[in-house]
Structure 1
Amino acid sequence: MNVQLNHTIVWCRDKWRSSSFLIDILRLRDAAIPFGPMLVVKLGNSVSLDFYDQDGDIASQHYAFLVSESDFDSIFARIKEQGLTYWAAPGKRGAGETYQHNGGRGVYFDDPDGHLLEVMTRPYEGIG
């Protein structure tokens, strides 16, 4: 059986602000596409993040993005330029630091709704 993730909903307070933040920080080529009540942000592997407005509390989720070494440098520069707090570990440990695993680098930071985003240059070793 071949099962692939197609999309996931990203609950947010303002889908335009949240999708624009992701598009800008990752420098994605395509703009968000309206689809019903959502804004769809397509990623390079045919998976999409579908931003959907929600009132009230939003449970924080984690979204990890695999990027090239050069893209990591550019993304990390934008994280610092925007004055975003960043961490080396998912529990928001190692403030102001990045991590190194499996010969690659990574960093965690929050989006406008408190979702924990991660950019990484190598997938976890032995998985996949």
Structure 2
Amino acid sequence: MTVNLNHTIVAAHDKQESARFLADILGLEVSPEYGPFVPVALPNGVTLDYMESPGDIPPQHYAFLVSEDDFDEIFTRVQDAGLSYWADPHHRLPGEINTNDGGRGTYFDDPNGHRLEILTRPYGSGG
């Protein structure tokens, strides 16, 4: 049996701004609008489809496994954008990265309060 995540919908107050934010930080492209969605395609074929949502948006967590080189590039963009970042998902270790499982990781928020994470080693992979 083969099961792969194909896409997920990401709630946003401004779908264009939110898709552009993610694409710019991760070094990706925003795909053309498709119906009510603005997709950002990841290299593994999964898309994050931004859709406008009125009112409060409960924060979700999106983790991106990246190479060491990509981590450096993305983390530089996070810092250059003046974004706050944390070593943990609970925002208790500000201005730090973690070294879990022998890799590196950090968390930062998107314009809607979604918790974004970049990490270089999957959790539980040892170190």
With structure 2 as the length reference, what TM-score do the two structures score?
A: 0.94
Runs of 4+ with deviation above 4 angstroms = none
Give the match for residue 59 of structure 1. Answer: 58
Superposed, 1:1-128 pairs within 5 Å as: 1-28=1-28, 30-126=29-125
CA distance in 2, matches of 1:84, 1:60: 17
The answer (yes or no) to whether the contact 2:30–2:38 under 8 Å persists in 1 is no
Deviation digits for residues 23-48 of structure 1, max 9, x if unmatched? 000011x3322110101111011111
With structure 1 as the length reference, what TM-score do the two structures score?
A: 0.94
Deviation digits for residues 85-105 of structure 1, max 9, x if unmatched? 100001111000000011210
CA distance in 2, matches of 1:32, 1:83: 26
Offset of 1:4 from its aligned partner? 1.3
The answer (yes or no) to whether the contact 2:36–2:51 under 8 Å persists in 1 is yes
Structure 2, unaligned stretches of length 5 or more? none
* Percent identity of paired positions between Structure 1 and Structure 2: 55
Farther off after superposition, 33-42 or 106-115: 33-42
> Structure 1 or 2: larger strand share?
1
Offset of 1:59 from its aligned partner? 0.8
CA distance in 1, matches of 2:5, 2:49: 13
The code of the aligned residue for 1:76 comes to: F
The code of the aligned residue for 2:89 comes to: P
Give me the CA root mean square deviation: 1.0
